Amino acid sequence: MAQTLLINQKYLTDKSVINDNTDYNLLVPVIVVAQDLDIMPLLGSDLYKVIIDAVAAGTIAGDNKTLLDTYVQPCLLYFVMAKSPIILRFRYMNRGVVENQGEGSTQITTDDMKFLEDRYLKIAENYGNQMIKYIKANPDKYPSYFTSYGIDKTSPDRTPFNAGGLYLGDDGYCYKPRNDMDCYDRFDH
């Protein structure tokens, strides 16, 4: 059975800087990996399965279509863009790993490739954070997001991409000592 992809070649070339002469067959494994290792942990296995099954059946509609079109696909696109430079640059051949040398083109440096990967990864993470906020703000629309628990399931990563620092939760409370006494003050900045 073929893997259900959440983005296709037209979406890739229309919505990104990926050129339409890029071999789409090289990108399919990248899409699969990004769906499995990046998108599924964000959605959790239950909501991911709902979306995949609806796309596979051609019945994606309503709130799930909104989630797919507005959040999942843009997030997935930038994960694919972050992961694809190395795939497009190097090939595994019988004689070993070789660098792809296109006619009339100049290869970027490894540092430039890392820069692109980091840049697109940050964009993907931003879309991922927006997606999680949207789902959490609409729990009645996505109940399967809150049911992915168990040994055979992947629970959604509810705080996936933090820039570091101290996470204080979503309740707006910040722990601040005052007058040599410990207390909690409402943080409304």
Amino acid at 184: Y
Highest mean pLDDT among 64-73, 100-109, 176-185: 64-73
Q: What is the mean pLDDT of residues 29-35?
A: 95
- pTM attached to this predicted model: 0.77
pLDDT at 26: 87
Q: What is the pLDDT of residues 46-80, one digit of tens each?
A: 999 999 999 999 999 999 999 999 999 999 999 99
Q: What is the mean pLDDT of residues 126-143?
A: 94
Write the burial class of residue 175 (CB in 10 Å: 0-12 exposed, 13-18 middle, 19+ buried).
Answer: exposed
- What are the E-state strand segments in 94-177? 96-99, 173-175
**CA separation for the pair 69, 116 (Å, rounded):** 24
Q: Determine the 3-state secondary structure of 171 from DSSP.
A: coil
Spatial contact of 107 and 91, defined as CB atoms under 8 Å apart: no
Q: Per mean pLDDT, which range of 74-78, 85-89, 112-116 is the poorest? A: 85-89
Q: Per mean pLDDT, which range of 52-66, 76-90, 144-158 is the poorest? A: 144-158
pLDDT at 174: 45
Write the burial class of residue 84 (CB in 10 Å: 0-12 exposed, 13-18 middle, 19+ buried).
Answer: buried
User: Which residues pair with residue 143 across a beta bridge?
Assistant: none
